[in-house]
Amino acid sequence: MAVKLSSIINTDELLKLNPSEIILIDARAGINAEENYNKEHLKGARYVDLNKDLAAVEDPANGGRHPLPSFSKFSEVLSKLGISPSSHIIIYDDKNASNAASRFWWMLRSAGHEKVQVVNGGLQEAVKADFPVSSEIETFEAAKKYPVSEWKLKTADIEEVEKVRNNSENIVIDVRDKNRFDGLTEPLDLIAGHIPGAVNVPFSENLDENGLFKPAEILAEKYNSVLENKPSENIIVHCGSGVTACHTLLAMDYAGIEIPKLYVGSWSEWSRNDREMATKEKQ
């Protein structure tokens, strides 16, 4: 029986792998992300763009700021990156996997690709461990069309969140930091606050003081306490736009917990619709 591949790979394990047997992906996002990748990246890494490759360009009120792309678009992205169903994919970003590494991990797993891991500590930890870096243009061949026909992992839409957010048999988790959840600040969306009924479990709590994922057993203890034995289909995880929420889904999978539902639209969609909102004035 094949042993399940850990969703997290430490840098000492990464250094032992044969570069020709893996596909390394740089998934950093934000301002000047691709420019920074071009200046310096882990040697051999191919760049994936959160906005262009891992999301669709649509109305944020209908799906949030980073809605999932179509199956055909994602298939094209994977083929362009040279990824085939047998590829061993290793992903990193420069924000401890909260940038877009965890989102790409979730999308690959949801497309049915099991052989995918995220670098613990990301770019900075790999550089610290003396993984070779480069500013060269990476050349590689595209792969044949990658078959993507469904998202195999569970998702929730805005109507389901509305239906279950106050149900004691369900739990809606918001992974944004406490100040955003409390409505004290909102750097990205139009309104500050949170979905009434949601509980705040910041994704940053998945990490230790060095920016590394806490041990699997510690994460398991934490989330089993939060989830109170609720089945995965009764758990919905969200953030601002369905990206950072994947960090917590990654942490749960690493801890051996079944991956719950992702609300892709998240606060960016909820706050742009005529829905009840808990803001600083309405706590």
Whose tokens are 């262009």? That residue is: 52
**Residue from 21, 100, 113, 25 nearest 66 by CA:** 100
Catalytic residue at 246? no
What lies within 8 Å, CB to CB, of 57 at 6+ separation is 51
Q: Which two tokens stand for residue 93?
A: 């970003």
* DSSP-assigned letters across all residues of 5-50: PPSEE-HHHHHHS-GGG-EEEE---STTHHHHHHH-EETTPEE--H
Measured CA to CA, the distance from residue 223 to residue 201 in angstroms comes to 9
Helices (H) and strands (E) in the chain, counts: 11, 12
Measured CA to CA, the distance from residue 50 to residue 144 in angstroms comes to 22
Question: Residue length, the chain?
Answer: 283
Half-sphere exposure of residue 27: CA atoms within 13 angstroms, side-chain side: 33
Residue 116's DSSP bridge partners are 89
Catalytic-labelled residue, pool 239, 243, 257, 262? 239
Measured CA to CA, the distance from residue 23 to residue 280 in angstroms comes to 45
Residues taking part in catalysis: 239
